[in-house]
Amino acid sequence: MKKLFIGILILLFFLMGCNAEDEYEAPVYKGQDLTIGVIGEKPDVREKNVHFQSVSLDELESANNRISDNFDTIFIMKENLEQAAENKYAKVYKELKLPIFFIESKKAYVPFINDDLTYNEVPDIDDQMYITGIISKGEDTFKIWGFGLYNDTENDTNIKSVYSSVFETIESAGL
């Protein structure tokens, strides 16, 4: 019985050690306050200096200048990606002077800037990022960012860390 108990303890210790290898806790973003427009459900983040405000795709389309004045960036969450890839929004992404981050897009940024492709027509990208960002730099030219999860492991720690990295990028790029 004692050997079984010791064996279970060793196994639990080993499993806990393996789990720790799949987590990385990035430093919490402590820079300037950010106001982020979110299309979809607001993400759960560690930062207190990041504020989320709901915005719709229709508002994004109709109020391009106001959106740029009121937000530091736009997040489009997973549940809205298919609608956000409708061809009428490609022009918006090309004209918007803010970065746009697509959360959990299995197609990266491709269906969002091509007005002749739907989300479902674009094949999944094998080396996907958890968050893909773009900002228009002129006619059909974009700066692109990709943020993956540590060891491609989806857990609370890694997800919150990737958001912290995005916030750092927004601030350091002067966006």
pLDDT at 175: 58
Give me the mean pLDDT over the 110-135 stretch: 91
Residues 5-13 have a mean pLDDT of 40
Tokens representing residue 102 in the block = 């697509």
Least confident stretch, 15-19, 48-52, 66-70, 138-142: 15-19
pLDDT of residue 21: 76
Neighbour-count burial for 36-54, b at 16+ CB within 10 Å, e otherwise: bbbbbeebebbbeebebee
Compute φ and ψ for 97, nearest 5 degrees.
Answer: -95, 25
What is the identity of the amino acid at 19? N
HEC letters along 142-165: EEEEEECCHHHCCCHHHHHHHHHH
Q: What is the DSSP string of 47-102?
A: -SSEEEEE--HHHHHH-HHHHHHH-SEEEE-GGGHHHHTSHHHHHHHHH-SS-EEE
Average pLDDT, the chain: 87
pTM assigned to the model: 0.85
What pLDDT, on the 0 to 100 scale, is given for residue 18? 47
pLDDT for res 65 = 65
d(CA 32, CA 77): 23
What pLDDT, on a 0 to 100 scale, did the predictor assign at position 20? 55
Q: What is the mean pLDDT of residues 98-115?
A: 94
pLDDT at 17 over 60: no
